[in-house]
Amino acid sequence: MNSSEVASTIAPLLGSVGAKYMLDPETMAHGAAAGYPNGFAYYVAGRGGVLGDVDSDVVCAAFMFFEKSLIDKLWKEGIAVEGARAAGRRYMQSCDAWGEKNLANIADLEKFISPAEKLVASVDSSGLSLFAGLRAEPLPTQLPARAYRLITLLRELRGCVHISACVIHGINGLEATLLASGGEFSAKLHGWQPPYEDVERLRPNRDAAEKSTNEAMARLIDKHLSPSEMNQLAEQTTRITGSL
């Protein structure tokens, strides 16, 4: 496969599997045991905590696809427990625990780790704040946890690139959410209340943003990985996610 084919192959797999730990009952239990009032506050403070002690508007900008007042409420509830950076570190512990449990029986994880870690470490993170914050957290040493952390890092990388593409192509967070597969269900889950505007006229904008995202990811893959490495990344991503 060429870099464009690799980018389009791994995108849905990383997007799905990389989010699995976030609202997993065991992740929520981990947050509850530490005093977080609910799993959603743990999610916002934990995922956004890598940005540091910032205003909720900064977190909302980094997340994009959530309604601002919901992020403000959950961010404040979450960081009140132990602060932003501690929340981020604890959330990564939950991430690593999910990887340890669910990837433990998958063989040869180093075949995924090698190209994934090379790509993650090599990317210029300019403009990719959430990815940069997550990358700054030390990788775990155990292979199942390390492989899963890298899956989440690649997911955040593409997510940050996609946010930039949506802005460039003139669609905001609500519009992008309504145009995505979850539609109105996702919009409500993310804090926006109905009735919703008909945004179908913006479908070409979203398609263009998706195309730009894939092209940008392909450029990064092509720049930092050899042809054999990028194909190994695609093959191993497919193998690992297929096992889950």
Measured in whole angstroms, the distance separating CA 239 from the mean position of its chain's CA atoms is: 20
Percent of the chain with pLDDT over 70: 100
The predicted model gives 35-47 an average pLDDT of 97
Give the pLDDT confidence of 85-128 residue by residue, as tens digits: 999 999 999 999 999 999 999 999 999 999 999 999 999 999 99
| pLDDT confidence bin for 38, thresholds 50/70/90 | very high
* pLDDT computed for residue 5 by the predictor: 98
Give the pLDDT confidence of 124-160 residue by residue, as tens digits: 999 999 999 999 999 999 999 999 999 999 999 999 9
Question: What is the crossing angle of helices 84-102 and 143-168, to 10°?
Answer: 120
* pLDDT computed for residue 146 by the predictor: 98
* CB < 8 Å & 24+ apart, contacts of 164-170: 164/127, 164/216, 165/208, 165/209, 165/210, 165/212, 165/213, 165/216, 166/64, 166/206, 166/209, 168/209, 168/212, 169/205, 169/206, 169/208, 169/209, 169/212, 170/202, 170/205
| pLDDT confidence bin for 188, thresholds 50/70/90 | very high
* pLDDT computed for residue 90 by the predictor: 98
The predicted model gives 1-28 an average pLDDT of 96
* pLDDT computed for residue 105 by the predictor: 97
Given a contact cutoff of 8 angstroms between Cβ atoms, the answer to whether 209 and 171 are in contact is yes
pTM, rounded to two decimals = 0.96
pLDDT higher than threshold 90 for residue 11: yes
**Residue 53, number of CB atoms within 10 A of its CB:** 10
* pLDDT computed for residue 23 by the predictor: 85
pLDDT higher than threshold 90 for residue 200: yes
Instruction: Enumerate the domain spans of the chain.
Output: 3-243
Q: Who's near 115: CB < 8 A, 6+ residues apart?
A: 225, 229, 230, 232, 233, 236
* pLDDT computed for residue 115 by the predictor: 98
Query: CA–CA separation, 225 vs 160, rounded Å?
Result: 20
DSSP assignment of 116-137 equals HHHHHHHS--TT-HHHHHHHTS
Question: What is the crossing angle of helices 68-82 and 56-63, to 10°?
Answer: 120
| pLDDT confidence bin for 15, thresholds 50/70/90 | very high
